[in-house]
Structure formats: C-alpha cells, structure tokens
Structure 1
Amino acid sequence: MATAWSLTIDCASPTTLATFWTAALGYEPAPPPRGWTSWDDWFDDHDVPPSERDGGAFIHDPAGVAPGISFLRVPEGKTVKNRMHLDLAVGGGRHVDPDLRRSRIDAVVQRLTDLGATVLRDVPDHVTMTDPEGNEFDVL
C-alpha cells in the first residue's frame, strides 16, 4: 500500500506562494480539516495563538487526485538551488508535434510570468522558472 503524502514548501510569505501556486496548478485553498467549519475554529481548538495564524497556507487539488501543498513561514531565506523541484507537464510529451508542444509551453510560461514567476533558462524541450520566492520549477 502506498503512503499518503503532501508537499511542504518553506517560505517567507505563505499567502503569496499559495496564491501563486493555486493559480499555477489549478488548485484551491484547502478547506479546514473535517469536523471544523473554519480554519479559525481549528486554530482555536488547537490553541494556536493569533500571532501564529498567518504562518502557513494550504492548497489542494479540487479533484482530490494530486497531493496537497503546505506553505510554512520560516525565518531564513532560500540560499541555494533546489534539490527537488516540480515539473509542470503541459506540453503533452515528446510524442506531440514539437511546434504544438512548444506553443503550449510558451502559453503557460507567459501566464506564470504574469503571475510573478521568472524565466531562468529556456531550452528546446522545457523552460526553467522560479516562483515569486525563487524556488525553481520546470515547464515542459
């Protein structure tokens, strides 16, 4: 049996990154855990002080297929290249006509740039970008 998992991204601004990745992936803000009507109710029940309630943000795949992502505020900034990154597979794969595949990649790169991403490298089969806090990912 596979182990359920989610992804956690350390960051300076959980809300900023959650907003970016929600739009980039077609995700939604995660609802509060089952049994609570709001995140504030959950925070109250778990004695999370108000000063700590903006320390995280949570998004999920509305179809319930892909893993959830948490964004947690940490005091230190990013200092080196990611050792793990996301690949956004939007081109359709190598079996798709290269011009069509590239047009799909370019459209997503433009949309993500408009959302605050930055292009690092553009090579024939993919584009390496960074999110608003400098975390690398590829669009392929």
Structure 2
Amino acid sequence: MAARIDLTLDCTDARLLAEFWKTALGHVDEPPPPPFRTRKEWFAQFDLPDDDSVDDAAWLCDPDGVGPRLSILKVPEPKAAKNRLHIDVRVQVPGSSDERWARIKAEAERLVKAGGTISSEFDGHHIVMADPEGNEFCVAAASA
C-alpha cells in the first residue's frame, strides 16, 4: 500500500500564503479534526508557548480528497536558499504543443495576478515561479 503525503510550507505570513495556494490549487480550508468545532479549539489542546497563535498557521485540503493536504506554518527565520523540494502545478491540456504552451502561460499569468512571480520560462515545456514568499514551484502540463 502506498503512503499518502502532506506538504508543509514554512512562512512568515500564513494567511497570505494560504490565500495564494487556495487560488493556485483549488484547495479549501481544512476543517478541524473531530470532535473539535474550530481550529482555535483544536489548537488550544496543545501545550504551546503563549506567543503561538492559530492565526500563524493554515491547513488546506483538496475538496475532492485527491491531492495532498498543505500545512502552512509561520516560522521565525526567513527563507535562506532554493527549495530542495517544490510543487509542480499541473494543468490539463489536450491538443497540440502550441495549445499546451498557451495553457501553461495562461495559468502562470493567473498565478501572477494571485501574487506569484515568474522566475524563468522553459519555452514549450514549463514555467518556474515563486509564491508570495519566494517558494519555488513550476507550472507544466499534466502527463497524458
């Protein structure tokens, strides 16, 4: 049986990154685990320092239960280097290579409007981007 994974992103602004990744992936805020009614109620069960806040984190999930969950957690240190692991945002694109590239470019532009930046383009294949906090990811066509 294959293991499922969750992805965790460190950040300085969990709300900003949560909004970006909800837009990018179509994820939604993940409800708290039962029996808790709110994330604040769930968070209170842990013996955490007084300056830790539920507002310093976000939990996102694929509404269809297919993609990995994302935990977005505030950390005190800034991003220091290139990611060793990154997310690939895959777009469904039937048709010719020109149609694929047009769809990849359109998705990248949508994500720029959501706060991302384009780092480089590999013409006809994929676009390297960064989220609002500089975490690298790629936009490419989904495998057939």
After TM superposition, is the score higher than 0.5?
yes
Identical aligned residues as a percent: 42
CA offsets 1:72-99 (integer angstroms, 9 cap, x no match) = 111111111111111111153xx74011
Q: Give the whole-Å Cα distance in 1 for the aligned partners of 2:32 and 2:50.
A: 16
Q: Give the whole-Å Cα distance in 2 for the aligned partners of 1:48 and 1:37.
A: 20
- How far apart are 1:9 and its partner, in Å? 0.7
Q: Give the whole-Å Cα distance in 2 for the aligned partners of 1:82 and 1:50.
A: 30
40 and 49 in structure 1: CA distance in 2 versus 1, 3 angstrom threshold:
farther
Aligned residue identity for 1:29: D
Aligned residue identity for 1:41: E
TM-score (norm 1): 0.90
Gaps of 5+ in 1: none
Check if 1:11 corresponds to 2:11.
Answer: yes
TM-score (norm 2): 0.88
Q: Which residue of 2 aligns with 1:111?
A: 110
Q: Which residue of 1 aligns with 2:96?
A: 97
Q: Give the whole-Å Cα distance in 1 for the aligned partners of 2:33 and 2:52.
A: 18
Contact 1:91–1:105 under 8 Å retained in 2: no
Contact 1:85–1:136 under 8 Å retained in 2: yes
Check if 1:121 corresponds to 2:136.
Answer: no
CA offsets 1:95-130 (integer angstroms, 9 cap, x no match) = 740111011111111110001100000121111000
Q: Give the whole-Å Cα distance in 2 for the aligned partners of 1:91 and 1:121.
A: 21
* Structure 2 counterpart SS, 1:113: helix
Q: Give the whole-Å Cα distance in 2 for the aligned partners of 1:114 and 1:81.
A: 23
Q: Which residue of 1 aligns with 2:88?
A: 87
How many residues end up aligned between the 2 structures? 138
* Structure 2 counterpart SS, 1:112: helix
Q: Give the whole-Å Cα distance in 1 for the aligned partners of 2:92 and 2:120.
A: 17
Check if 1:65 corresponds to 2:66.
Answer: yes
Check if 1:44 corresponds to 2:44.
Answer: yes
- How far apart are 1:4 and its partner, in Å? 2.9
Q: Give the whole-Å Cα distance in 1 for the aligned partners of 2:67 and 2:37.
A: 23
Aligned residue identity for 1:71: I
Gaps of 5+ in 2: none
